[in-house]
Structure 1
Amino acid sequence: MPKILLIEDNEMNRDMLSRRLARAGYEVAIAEDGARGVAMATSDRPDLILMDMSLPVIDGWEATRLIKATPELRKIPIIALTAHAMATDREKAVEAGCEDYDTKPIELQRLLGKIETLLAAVRL
């Protein structure tokens, strides 16, 4: 069962998305801020990370850069999750090291497709 680390500070978003991911067959670990997310990425080595970009302590941009700067973590795919739908936000996420980007509110089938695509690419 693939393990997803969900880094999200909004309790309602965290609860809803983690339950939906678990029903879709994923093991879900949760971090409520960027610093905890980086620590959990290091200790838990998830198969994929869903990264909210507006986080307390360390924002999602910096947390992504820290994870991607760590050699043993750099291959973990990260999908940025953000309420910002501007083209520049997508570019900023890619520049920080995210492999993909999705906007809130989350459309579950679209997100699951992105997750499966990235997990399949890592398995190759």
Structure 2
Amino acid sequence: MTERVLVVEDNDLNRKLFCDLLRANGLVVEPCSDGREFIEIALRFDPQVVVMDIQLPHVSGLSLIEAMKGNDLLRHIPILAVTAYAGKGDEERIRDAGAEGYLSKPVSIQPFMAAVNALLDRRAAA
């Protein structure tokens, strides 16, 4: 079974980059540009990993992580949080919300794929 990754990113260029990288590595990808649609898409798509931008319009990525971790059908899915605003304490706050992985933007290809693969491997081992 091919692994599925849900990419929640409002920036068109970043979303395209993430999706293209993941597809080039053999993953099935579902893009989501509006966080307000995230839960509905996640329930339908059933991803093995979620790549979550933290700074989204209309709703915070932190709020989405907390909502996902509070949902019995979604809480088991690991989250890689990506953010351009990597200030002191941000990583801890994001991990406390429930994200298993964290990268600051700009994201380099190798660390991004290593982080996604680590979450996929960890899930497969569980």
Query: TM-score if structure 2 supplies the norm length?
Result: 0.93
Q: Does 1:64 align with 2:50?
A: no
1:18 is matched with which residue? 19
1:74 is matched with which residue? 75
Cα displacement string for residues 16-53 of structure 1 (whole angstroms, at most 9, x for unaligned residues): 22111111111110111211122211221101000000
1:90 is matched with which residue? 91
1:123 is matched with which residue? 124
> CA-atom RMSD, angstroms?
1.0
**Could you tell me the percent identity over the aligned residues?**
31
Matched position secondary structure for 1:4: strand
Q: Quick check: 80-89 or 43-52, which moved more? A: 80-89
2:102 is matched with which residue? 101
Structure 1 ranges of 4+ moved more than 3 A: none
Deviation at 1:87, TM superposition (A): 3.7
Gaps of 5+ in 2: none
Query: TM-score if structure 1 supplies the norm length?
Result: 0.95
Matched position secondary structure for 2:68: helix
Alpha-carbon distance in structure 2 between the residues aligned to 1:116 and 1:104: 18
Matched position secondary structure for 1:113: helix
The one-letter amino acid paired with 1:2 is E
Cα displacement string for residues 71-120 of structure 1 (whole angstroms, at most 9, x for unaligned residues): 12101000111012224110111111100100111111111111111111
The one-letter amino acid paired with 2:48 is D
Gaps of 5+ in 1: none
| Matched ranges for 1:27-42 at <5 A | 27-42=28-43
